[in-house]
Amino acid sequence: MNKKKFSLNEWLSYQSNVHSKTVDLGLERVALVAQRMGIDSMPCPVITVAGTNGKGSTIAFLQSIYTAAGYQVGTYTSPHMLRYNERICIGGRECSDELLCESFARIEEARADISLSYFEFGTLAALDLFVRAKTLDVVLLEVGLGGRLDAVNIVDTDIAVVTSISLDHTEWLGSDLNSIGYEKAGIFRAGIPAVFGSLDLPQSIADYANILGTPLYVLGQHFDYQCTDSRWRWHSQNESAEALPPPGLFGAVQYQNAATALMVVALLVQQLNVTDCQRNQGVSEASLIGRYQHVPGSVETILDIAHNVESAQKLVQSLNSRPSKGKTHLVLGMLVDKDIVNVVKVLSEVVDCWYLCGLQVERGASIEYLKANFVTALPHTHAQVFLDVKAAYTAAESAADGLDRIIVCGSTYAVAAFLIEE
């Protein structure tokens, strides 16, 4: 079949099956194809964002701030929520099926006998489309997994960001925080500033920066923020921003992500000037599907992709900051390779009624597997079980009254399944 006539879905199906491994960390193959295509460097500043949690939110703040300042922004993020096109945006617009298919055809021709994974195809497409756009002022690249060996790391960055470090993807990145931190710090470059957006800095990241000669700016040491009832304050060693508007993304953790983004903006001010008014507008207008997202209805519904222990803790923190007058009903669907037991234990602090559901996706935990892990975590707690998110949410909605709230969380796929049904 002539691949040049593939639809987007046909291309994605092809990419899912053409490579022997779903995850294949390493830069040699993807870097060689990028060099052949002339897309291994960007014609504008690049901000590369790694971390266990907070990557998408930090990029959302940066995209919103630079857009408010009048800059053309290219963003590459993953995974997508509803459409693959969400992964690659230029000037705030998702790339069309046509542009993506044309790029995939160019990649297929350039790769020849070099095998590429699904994620590597997507990364090359993003770089290809950014270079061809010719109008971009800044490119934001989200690391898919780790950092050192992730495909986006073939491009040198102008600012490297690590949002946070916690235990996740341990089968690929290591079983302790220092090992994971080392992999994330692999996006650092000698003499190029890096930002760490959490208070808990692994020693491996500090050591990596010191060896490379990377200026490292750490939350709580080189920049910080303080919140009041309606406004908040950000400051670094050289400047401060007073009376900032609440972040457009909801949840207590978003102040931390916004503060990280503001440190990046401050470091790049010589290349990308942003006024106070533009900065404030960008912070307040940032938006992102599935991050403490409120859904209007007769019962308050909150969607959050919390899928590991740290993100579950942040969700609990946000829920505790706005206590419910009634019960909290939680619809939970997770992937089989996540720490289900400890995520359930963390969430149990705020949950009154549990609705477990299977996820019909690759790596999705079956309802039997999810229930077994739930029983391990909370052996004396009752949970209802359902085959899918729709059935679980319908049951929760029927049981809830106007004072209650429903949370849908555990995975991007759980939130996506809810939104698709809507």
Q: 115 and 39: one domain?
A: yes
Q: Rg of the Cα trace of the chain?
A: 21
Domain boundary among 251, 285, 319: 285
Q: How far is CA 394 from CA 294, 314, 385, 398, 402, in A?
A: 17, 26, 12, 6, 15
Contact 204, 178 (CB under 8 A): yes
- Given pLDDT bands bounded at 50, 70 and 90, which one contains residue 422? low
- Given pLDDT bands bounded at 50, 70 and 90, which one contains residue 174? low
CATH code of 236's domain: 3.40.1190.10
Which of 286, 281, 222 lies closest to 254 in space, CA to CA? 286
pLDDT of 292 above 70: yes
pLDDT of 311 above 80: yes
Q: 146 and 177: one domain?
A: yes
Q: What is the predicted pLDDT for the residue at 96?
A: 97
Q: Give me the mean pLDDT over the 158-187 stretch.
A: 82
pLDDT of 421 above 90: no
CATH code of 342's domain: 3.90.190.20
Q: 66 and 30: one domain?
A: yes
How many domains would you assign to the chain? 2
- Given pLDDT bands bounded at 50, 70 and 90, which one contains residue 218? very high
Domain boundary among 261, 285, 309: 285
Q: 119 and 146: one domain?
A: yes
Q: How confident is the model over 319-376, as pLDDT tens digits? A: 998 888 999 999 999 999 899 999 999 999 999 999 999 998 888 999 999 999 999 9
- Given pLDDT bands bounded at 50, 70 and 90, which one contains residue 18? confident
Q: What is the predicted pLDDT for the residue at 24?
A: 66
Q: 138 and 250: one domain?
A: yes
pLDDT of 1 above 60: no
Question: What are the tokens at 253?
Answer: 């953790």
* Averaged pLDDT score across all residues of the chain: 93
- More confident of the two residues 23 and 368: 368
Percent above pLDDT 70 for the chain: 96
Whole-angstrom Cα distance, residue 315 to residue 311?
Answer: 6
DSSP assignment letter at 188: -
Q: How many residues make up the chain in this entry?
A: 422
Q: How many CB atoms lie within 10 A of CB 313?
A: 18
- Given pLDDT bands bounded at 50, 70 and 90, which one contains residue 108? very high
Q: 178 and 264: one domain?
A: yes
Range of the domain at 215: 3-285
Element (H, E) at 50: strand 46-50
Q: Give me the mean pLDDT over the 133-160 stretch.
A: 94
Domain boundary among 246, 265, 285: 285
Query: Could you identify the residue written with the tokens 């052949």?
Result: 36
Contact 81, 146 (CB under 8 A): no
Q: 271 and 384: one domain?
A: no
Q: 330 and 267: one domain?
A: no
Q: 95 and 20: one domain?
A: yes
Q: 33 and 165: one domain?
A: yes
Q: Reduce the secondary structure of 81-123 to three states and give it as a string.
A: CCCHHHHEEECCEECCHHHHHHHHHHHHHHHCCCCCCHHHHHH
Element (H, E) at 73: strand 73-76
Its sign, for the CA torsion 33, 34, 35, 36, is: positive
Q: 152 and 188: one domain?
A: yes
Q: Give me the mean pLDDT over the 9-25 stretch.
A: 82
Q: 270 and 301: one domain?
A: no
